[in-house]
């Protein structure tokens, strides 16, 4: 290696994290550097696992020397040396569930400014004292609505749920929410003691009695004569209304089973006192530009900017503060808010509102919010490490994102970006290509230098896609057998939309961010088909969608719905690839069938790390224990008893073909496919995982470590391994996100296989390769949010490309 002046370079020596093979690389600072390579090649291990982790470690050491011992326990990245490394900020796509109290406003910190604006420059109605900024936040004691404690939703019982069958009498169990057995009998005796007839059908009781039984807070004590004379003396029993009983169980019971039962009787609804805003009454009376803060939180950001400008022009008739002062404040804060909102508009997020809950944002949307927030932080000389910032973006939206990244660079920062998008890669100052393959087949530095240099590196899979040598083979377009005709569909920004989906082919639904693609496919279409099939969503969070549809002719063609989304395959490290696909059951049976297990009397459950018996009890089978760091987020360290093996020593003594159960969990799918080649039930799962490009994953890789794209491909593989009969509808929301172009190709081959087998596949997509591989395109638009929600074009990819919309222009360029 030539000697380089180390100024302006981050120099990495001996990086060995995960699959990295002791690599040395010099990376320029103050540049846009893109880390490329197939999925599992080691890009993230280098960018996040090594560079970012080391920068973090140094930072913690400098601010909290006492944390050193604990940090050592957690482990520093496995790297020889890194020089020239500035502090780093990671804008990673979050894996795992964000908190339900965060919103677009809190992520961007715009909520704070807006509260200040309302506090200082709002219009106060007569009689309302000036409020502090905190009083405009539902998350503070001063601001929270007393009824819902700032949540904006209340959980309450309803008569329908408490009494599902009104023809029953109380004795027959009309009040389903009441406890059964002895306690229930007790309550019936009390009710009798109170003079209410427990033999009458529920619906014949008076309204007053019914309401009292269900909702009263009163708890009279009644001398009870037991129903059956098993005891010969009376006793005092206390009455519990159905609501009081349910609420008591929910707030007091330790038993999950009891709590789950009680939850069946409550419904969550928008808080009637604060109309769902979570704010106390005074805060809801103050306005700016004629809107309350709750209303301001609900308008799309594009309108918010307009409103604020308006409010700054009209002097407020503010009660307390002098108008002069409050106008100056309005000018200052308003200008600041508008400048920040404009960055969000630039990034194509004008359709979001400040109040939008972060749990409903796509990963790409939340990452862009955090990028926009960083722009204003005024930091310079830091490295921003980003994870696929183009994910979820229509090519039309990717351009403004790149402009924002350029602005971060121009203010003196370095951008290290893990990315698959070829347009983004072409824009980079420098490319670090890792690979050439995945897992053990990767981990080497294939190339480091300016983009053009990659053309000459034949070994680089990325290079082959950046600089294709031959035109892609043309494909026969399928013609649909029949159609599913949806009419009058409304949800979110879709209003009375009619759209026809062709059956038995591959369809791509396209359009700029926020145009309504996910709403149409994963919500409207999924709900309609589910209703026809009489099934419920796997995830109960989604149960309450108010989808309106006039008609869905042709829906009867489907006998199954498969939604293959990017949600995690499990929320704890206890679920993993092997448990999710069901392959682990097979493996445990193999271990239980060995002579050694039979001699010891070990059954298959002995080889589960989730139950007592075979697992390590120190970590209860997790392999990790959590380490509490003062002031720092909690983190995990390997268990000191089993050193991450998850099992106790006796269990590990049992070998199958010379390997322990822990060793099997450490195998990659590729290695396991060889190991279990002659076990058909295991090898079928393993082969389908390899088919979707996941051969590099380890069987025991916890669900929490997997990316959304990996989780999605695991779900797809699990579906592929099932024997299919009949006609299923497969819905996929951006299956190519997080995938290298070569992995996109593998994925598309599998989807084509599903269609060839007679199924219908509908994708929400931005990827040009995926769109051109489709038989039919449904393009939504023309813009995001309220300016979208319409079908702007339908047809084959080639016919769409002749149009004039955003999708057409990019598709035409790709097909050219
Ligand atoms: P990429 O970012 O290129 O998709 P990664 O850096 O995430 O690849 O992964 C590279 C290799 O390291 C893969 O074989 C992956 O399974 C493995 N790996 C990733 N995370 C971990 C981890 N936390 N522990 C052990 N191995 C890991
Ligand atoms: P796309 O998939 O094309 O990016 P979406 O279907 O996610 O678009 O969003 C379409 C519109 O519906 C946007 O204005 C978005 O803000 C709104 N929207 C999406 N999900 C929700 C939700 N859970 N609650 C409220 N509005 C939503
Ligand atoms: Zn409330
Ligand atoms: Zn342990």
Domain 104-152+273-346: give its CATH code: 1.20.1580.10
Among the bound ligands, name the one nearest to the CA of residue 435: 1
Is the Cβ–Cβ distance between 244 and 213 less than 8 Å? Answer: no
CB 416 within 8 A of CB 383: yes
Q: What is the pLDDT of residue 239?
A: 92
Spell out the residues 6+ positions from residue 246 whose beta carbon is closer than 8 angstroms to its own.
157, 162, 177, 262, 265, 266
Q: What is the pLDDT of residue 553?
A: 95
Answer whether 39's CB lies under 8 Å from 438's CB.
yes
User: Which two structure tokens, joined as six digits, stand for 369?
Assistant: 């919010």
Residue nearest to atom 14 of ligand 2 (CA): 785
Helix, strand or coil, per DSSP, at residue 248: helix
pTM of the model: 0.80
CA of 141 to the centre of ligand 3 (A): 13
d(CA 647, CA 127): 67
Q: Which residues of 213-231 are buried (b: 16+ CB within 10 A; e: fewer)?
A: bbeeeeeeebebeeeeeee
Cα distance between residue 768 and residue 789, in whole Å:
21
Which ligand is in closest contact with the Cα of 51? 1
Which of 20, 23, 38, 42 to mutate to test ligand 1, by most ligand atoms within 8 A of the CB atom? 42
Model confidence pLDDT, tens digit, residues 1-34: 444 556 899 999 999 998 999 999 999 999 999 9
pLDDT of residue 228 exceeding 60: no
Residue pair 655/559 in contact by the 8 Å Cβ criterion: no
The two tokens of residue 345 are: 């508009």
Concatenate the DSSP letters of all residues of 249-283 into one string: HHHH---HHHHHHHHTTEEEEE-TTTTTS-B-TTT
**To 10 degrees, the CA torsion angle through 759, 762, 765, 770?**
30
Q: Where are the domains of the chain?
A: 9-95+357-466, 104-152+273-346, 155-270, 483-568+723-815, 577-705
Domain 577-705: CATH architecture, name and number where available = Up-down Bundle (1.20)
What b/e readout covers 253-273, taking b as 16+ CB neighbours within 10 angstroms? Answer: eeeeeeeebbeebbeeeebeb
- Model confidence at 229: pLDDT above 70: no
Distance 609 CA to ligand 4 centre (A): 10
The dihedral through the CA atoms of 449, 455, 458, 461 has a sign that is positive
Å from CA of 707 to ligand 4 middle: 25
Q: Token pair for residue 570?
A: 């499990």
Beta strands in 587-746 (DSSP E): 624-627, 635-638, 728-733
| CATH class of the domain whose range is 483-568+723-815 | alpha beta
Range 519-539 average pLDDT: 86
Q: What is the pLDDT of residues 119-141, one digit of tens each?
A: 999 999 999 999 999 999 998 99
User: What pLDDT sits at residue 96?
Assistant: 44
Confidence (pLDDT) at 231: 53
| Among the four given CATH numbers 3.40.50.300, 3.30.1330.10, 3.30.70.1400, 3.30.930.10, the one describing domain 9-95+357-466 | 3.40.50.300
Q: Which residue has the tokens 């780093």?
A: 88
Q: Which helix (H) or strand (E) holds 90?
A: strand 88-91
The two beta strands, 506-510 and 760-764, are: parallel
Neighbours of 798 (CB within 10 A): 14
Class of domain 155-270: mainly alpha
Q: How many CB atoms lie within 10 A of CB 493?
A: 22
CA of 438, closest atom in ligand 1 = 14
Residue 320 is predicted with a pLDDT of: 46
Q: List, chain by chain if needed, residues with CB within 6 Å of any ligand 1 atom.
A: 18-19, 37, 39-45, 439, 696-698, 705
- Tell me whether residue 797 is exposed, middle or buried, using C-beta atoms within 10 angstroms of its C-beta: 0 to 12, 13 to 18, 19 or more: buried
Ligand nearest to the CA of 512: 2
The Å distance, Cα 569 to ligand 4 centre, comes to: 23
Alpha-helical runs (H) found in 127-180 = 159-162
Averaged confidence pLDDT in the chain? 87
**Which atom of ligand 2 is found nearest the CA of 519?**
6
Question: Among residues 473, 548, 520, which one has the least CA distance to residue 794?
Answer: 520
Query: Are both 104-152+273-346 and 577-705 of the same fold?
Result: yes
Strand 790-795 and strand 776-781: pairing?
Answer: antiparallel
Number of residues assigned to the chain: 816
Q: Which of 158, 155, 186, 181 is nearest to 250 (CA)?
A: 155
Note the ipTM here: 0.93
Give the DSSP letter string of 223-235: EE--SSTTSSS-E
Give the per-residue pLDDT at 5: 56
Write the pLDDT tens digit of every residue in 167-220.
Answer: 999 998 899 999 877 788 888 888 988 889 999 999 999 999 999 999 999 999
More confident residue, 324 or 96: 324
Q: What is the mean pLDDT of residues 607-616?
A: 92
pLDDT number for residue 31: 96
Torsion sign across C-alpha atoms 650, 651, 655, 659: negative
Ligand 2 atom nearest the C-alpha of 789 is 10
**Sign of the CA dihedral running 151, 156, 160, 161:** positive
> What is the arithmetic mean of pLDDT over 145-172?
89
For residues 574 and 568, what is the distance between their CA atoms, to the nearest angstrom? Answer: 12
- Residue 398 is predicted with a pLDDT of 84
Q: How confident is the model at residue 466 (pLDDT cuts 50, 70, 90)?
A: very high
**Is the pLDDT assigned to residue 151 strictly greater than 90?**
no
CB of 49 closer than 8 Å to CB of 18: yes
Note the pLDDT of residue 107: 87
Cα dihedral across residues 83, 87, 92, 97: positive or negative: positive
| pLDDT above 70 for 85 | yes
What residue's CA is closest to ligand 1, atom 21? 18
| Distance from residue 439's CA to the centre of ligand 1 (Å) | 7
């Amino acid at each position: 290696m030539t000697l380089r002046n180390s100024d302006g370079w981050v120099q990495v020596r001996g990086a060995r994290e995960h699959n990295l093979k002791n690599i040395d690389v010099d990376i320029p600072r103050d540049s846009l550097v893109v880390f490329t390579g197939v999925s599992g090649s080691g890009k993230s291990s280098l960018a996040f696992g090594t560079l970012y982790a080391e920068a973090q470690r140094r930072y913690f050491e400098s601010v909290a020397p006492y944390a050193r011992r604990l940090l050592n326990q957690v482990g520093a990245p496995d790297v020889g040396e890194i020089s020239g490394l500035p502090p780093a900020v990671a804008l990673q796509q979050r894996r795992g569930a964000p908190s339900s109290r965060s919103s677009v406003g809190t992520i961007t910190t715009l909520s704070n400014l807006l509260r200040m604006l309302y506090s200082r420059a709002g219009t106060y109605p007569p009689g309302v004292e000036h409020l502090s900024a905190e009083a405009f936040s539902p998350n503070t004691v001063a601001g929270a609505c007393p009824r819902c404690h700032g949540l904006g939703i209340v959980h309450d019982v309803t008569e329908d749920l408490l009494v599902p069958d009104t023809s029953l009498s109380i004795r027959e169990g009309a009040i389903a929410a009441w406890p059964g057995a002895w306690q229930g009998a007790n309550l019936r005796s009390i009710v009798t003691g109170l003079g209410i007839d427990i033999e009458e059908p529920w619906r014949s009781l008076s309204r007053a009695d019914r309401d009292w039984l269900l909702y009263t807070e009163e708890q009279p004590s009644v001398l009870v004569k037991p129903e059956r004379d098993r005891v010969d003396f009376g006793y005092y029993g206390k009455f519990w209304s159905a609501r009081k009983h349910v609420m008591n169980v929910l707030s007091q019971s330790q038993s999950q089973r009891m709590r789950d039962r009680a939850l069946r009787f409550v419904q969550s609804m928008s808080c009637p006192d604060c109309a769902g805003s979570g704010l106390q009454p005074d805060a809801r009376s103050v306005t700016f530009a004629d809107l309350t803060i709750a209303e301001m939180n609900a308008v799309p950001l594009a309108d918010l900017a307009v409103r604020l400008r308006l409010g700054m022009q009209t002097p407020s008739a503010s009660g307390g503060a002098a108008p002069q002062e409050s106008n100056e404040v309005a000018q200052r804060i308003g200008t600041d808010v508008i400048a920040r909102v404009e960055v969000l508009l630039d990034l194509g997020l004008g359709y979001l509102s400040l109040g939008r809950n972060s749990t409903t944002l796509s990963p790409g949307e939340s990452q862009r919010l955090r990028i926009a927030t960083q722009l204003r932080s005024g930091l310079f000389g830091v490295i921003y490490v980003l994870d696929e910032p183009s994910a979820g973006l229509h090519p039309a939206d990717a351009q403004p994102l790149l402009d924002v990244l350029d602005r971060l660079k121009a203010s003196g920062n370095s951008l290290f970006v893990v990315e698959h998008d070829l347009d983004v890669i072409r824009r980079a100052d420098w490319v670090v290509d890792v690979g050439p393959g995945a897992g053990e087949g990767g981990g080497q530095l294939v190339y480091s230098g300016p983009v053009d240099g990659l053309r000459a590196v034949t070994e680089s899979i990325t290079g082959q896609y950046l600089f294709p040598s031959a035109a892609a083979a043309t494909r026969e377009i399928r013609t649909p057998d029949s159609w599913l005709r949806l009419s009058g569909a409304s949800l979110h920004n879709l209003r009375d939309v009619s759209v026809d989906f062709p059956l038995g082919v591959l369809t791509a639904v396209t359009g700029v961010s926020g145009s309504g693609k996910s709403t149409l496919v994963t919500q409207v279409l999924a709900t309609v088909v589910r209703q026809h099939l009489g099934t419920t969503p796997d995830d109960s969070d989604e149960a309450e969608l108010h989808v309106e549809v006039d008609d869905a002719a042709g829906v009867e063609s489907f006998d199954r719905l498969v939604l293959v989304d990017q949600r995690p395959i499990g929320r704890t490290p206890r679920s993993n690839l092997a448990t999710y696909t069901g392959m682990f059951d097979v493996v445990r049976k193999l271990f239980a069938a060995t002579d050694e297990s039979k001699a010891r009397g070990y059954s298959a459950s002995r080889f589960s790390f989730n139950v007592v018996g075979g697992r390590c009890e120190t970590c209860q089978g997790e392999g990790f224990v959590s380490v509490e760091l003062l002031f720092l987020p909690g983190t995990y360290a390997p268990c000191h008893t089993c050193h991450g093996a998850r099992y106790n020593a006796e269990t590990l003594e049992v070998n199958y073909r010379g390997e322990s159960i822990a060793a099997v969990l450490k195998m990659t799918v590729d290695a396991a496919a060889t190991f279990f080649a002659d076990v058909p039930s295991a090898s079928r799962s393993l082969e389908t995982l390899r088919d979707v490009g996941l051969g590099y994953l380890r069987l025991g890789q916890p669900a929490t470590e997997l990316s959304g794209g990996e989780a999605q491909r695991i779900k797809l593989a699990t579906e592929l391994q099932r024997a299919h009969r009949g006609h299923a509808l497969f819905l996929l929301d951006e299956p190519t996100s997080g995938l290298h172009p070569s992995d996109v190709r593998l994925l598309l081959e599998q989807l084509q296989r599903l269609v060839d087998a007679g199924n219908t596949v509908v994708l929400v997509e931005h990827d040009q390769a995926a769109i051109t591989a489709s038989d039919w395109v449904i393009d939504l638009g023309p813009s995001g949010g309220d300016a979208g929600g319409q079908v702007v074009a339908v047809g084959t990819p080639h016919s769409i490309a002749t149009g004039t919309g955003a999708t057409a222009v990019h598709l035409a360029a790709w097909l050219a």
